[in-house]
């Protein structure tokens, strides 16, 4: 389905919500199209690239329309390597603490990395007369109508104008050198590097400059971290912490915990990611629940908007060993130990320590 590998973990088919296995996600620094996770709130539209139009308006008389050919011809093409991470990534760890009805149990694979190419949103907005450094917000709306929203509505979100005018934010028509696949927002999507995936609106066809954040349900009501005792069904617009920048996070991707490890040490590895203006500075692995830590090696950085792969060799001195991993950012902030500290009614931002239990064959005498 949707060109994904047969081993893809499909949480829902309508709307389509699927993540790769950790083993598949570990295969490349850039995530192949058939591995990349996909998160949808409604039916996936089928848009003819030749008929697609993007409207840019400010509600005060400015309104412009662009075709894909015009975007390609009128602006310089840029490319950015960026990790997308769903705010619900690792929700399964929160669900293990307490149930979260109506949400998918994403593991640590609702995140993926691609080279996106297209036009800098700043170039497009400047051509529409938008000035740098003015306060305000930029709303993106796609054509897909979601009945998960109250009332049912097209999917939308917004970001601050300053982020929209930053060099990394783009309207992408390409992913890893190929035309943007339909399931990932083709012909054109927004990519907001460093922000939760929810802000990177797919199939975008309307951009509106506003004084305040979008009134769209997915901005005003969803993607907000409510207090742990809040009732999500009665939460109203503006309740909770509205998410933008991705929280520092990391997890294991290999080895596969269902395999038996031979030998008394093993190389483990995974990803670490810090959103927006922060960077992963250190990753550490523990075999004793955080009493002591082993420094992991960080693979070379491939730009500030992409995850870092890490690996470490750790001793395995028991038949069953539970490993933990945590990252630190450039402000020396690190991750909380347990998901229980973070539990929230919609199950967002589980950035507690990653955990992996490995097994050795029973000792023979």
Residues at the interface with ligand MTE (CB under 6 A): 36-41, 84, 86, 142, 144, 155, 184-185, 197-198, 200-203
Which of Mo ion, ligand MTE, none does residue 84 bind to, with CB < 5 to 8 Å depending on kind?
A: ligand MTE
- SS3 call for 127: helix
Q: Which is nearer to ligand MTE, 36 or 271 (CB)?
A: 36
Scanning residues 176 to 215, which ones bind Mo ion (CB under 5 A)?
A: 197-198
Measure the CA–CA gap between 169 and 218, rounded to whole angstroms: 20
Measured from the CB atom, the residue of 255 and 275 that comes closer to ligand MTE is 275
Query: Rounded distance, CA 183 to CA 16, Å?
Result: 9
**From CA 180, how far away is CA 84, in angstroms rounded?**
15
Task: Retrieve residue 275's tokens.
Answer: 């959103």
**Residue among 153 and 286 whose Cβ is closer to ligand MTE:** 153
Q: Is 347 exposed, middle or buried (0-12, 13-18, 19+ CB in 10 A)?
A: buried
Measured from the CB atom, the residue of 186 and 197 that comes closer to Mo ion is 197
- Smallest gap from residue 86 Cβ to ligand MTE (A): 4
Closest to ligand MTE by CB, 202 vs 355, is 202
Q: List the structure tokens of 351.
A: 């950035």
The contacts found for 45-53 with CB under 8 angstroms, 24 or more apart, are 45/142, 45/143, 45/144, 45/182, 45/203, 46/182, 47/143, 47/182, 47/186, 47/187, 47/203, 49/186, 49/187, 52/187, 52/188, 52/205, 53/205
Question: Which partner from the list ligand MTE, Mo ion, none does 348 bind, CB cut-off 5 to 8 Å by kind?
Answer: none
b/e string for 127-161 if b means 16 or more Cβ within 10 A?
Answer: eeebeeeeebbbbbbbbbebeebeeebbbbbbbeb
Between 202 and 254, whose beta carbon lies closer to ligand MTE? 202
From 47, 86, 321, 325, residue interacting with Mo ion (rule: CB under 5 A): 86
Nearest approach in angstroms of CB 134 to ligand MTE is: 26
In whole angstroms, what separates CA 273 from the centre of its chain?
10
- Nearest approach, Cβ of residue 112 and ligand MTE (Å): 6
Q: Which residue is nearest to ligand MTE (CB)?
A: 197
Q: Which does 93 bind (CB under 5 to 8 A by kind): Mo ion, ligand MTE, none?
A: none
Q: Could you say which of Mo ion, ligand MTE, none residue 41 binds, taking C-beta under 5 to 8 angstroms by partner kind? A: ligand MTE
Q: Which residues in this chain contact Mo ion in the complex, by CB under 5 A?
A: 39, 86, 197-198
């Amino acid at each position: 389905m949707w060109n994904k590998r047969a081993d893809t973990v499909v949480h829902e088919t309508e709307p389509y919500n699927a993540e790769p296995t950790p083993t598949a996600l570990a295969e490349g620094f850039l995530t192949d199209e058939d591995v990349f996770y996909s998160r949808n709130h409604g039916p996936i539209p089928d848009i003819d690239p030749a008929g697609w139009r993007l409207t840019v308006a400010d509600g005060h008389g400015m309104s412009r329309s662009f075709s894909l050919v015009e975007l390609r011809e009128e602006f310089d093409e840029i490319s950015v390597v960026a990790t997308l991470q769903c705010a619900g990534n690792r929700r399964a760890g929160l669900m293990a603490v307490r149930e979260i009805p109506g949400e998918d149990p994403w593991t640590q694979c609702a995140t993926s990395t691609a080279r996106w190419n297209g036009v800098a949103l700043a170039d497009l907005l400047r051509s529409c007369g938008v000035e740098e450094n003015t306060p305000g917000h930029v709303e993106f709306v796609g054509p897909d109508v979601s009945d998960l929203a109250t009332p049912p509505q097209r999917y939308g979100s917004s970001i601050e104008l300053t982020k929209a005018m930053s060099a990394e934010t783009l309207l992408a028509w390409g992913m890893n050198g190929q035309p943007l696949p339909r399931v990932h927002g083709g012909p054109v999507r927004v990519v907001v590097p460093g922000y939760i995936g929810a802000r990177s609106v797919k199939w975008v066809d309307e951009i509106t400059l506003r004084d305040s954040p979008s009134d769209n349900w997915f901005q005003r009501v969803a993607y907000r971290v409510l207090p742990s005792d809040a009732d999500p069904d009665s939460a109203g617009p503006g309740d909770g912490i509205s998410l933008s920048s991705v929280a520092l996070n990391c997890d294991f991707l290999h080895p596969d915990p269902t395999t038996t490890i031979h030998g008394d040490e093993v190389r483990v590895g995974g990803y670490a990611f810090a959103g927006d203006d922060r960077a992963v500075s250190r990753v550490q692995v523990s075999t004793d629940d955080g009493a002591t830590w082993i420094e992991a090696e960080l693979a070379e950085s491939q730009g500030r908007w992409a995850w870092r792969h890490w690996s470490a060799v750790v001793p395995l001195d028991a038949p069953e060993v539970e490993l933990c991993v945590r990252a630190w950012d450039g402000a020396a902030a690190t991750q909380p130990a347990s998901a229980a500290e973070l539990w929230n009614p919609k199950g967002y931002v589980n950035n507690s320590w990653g955990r992996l239990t490995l097994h050795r064959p029973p000792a023979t005498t």
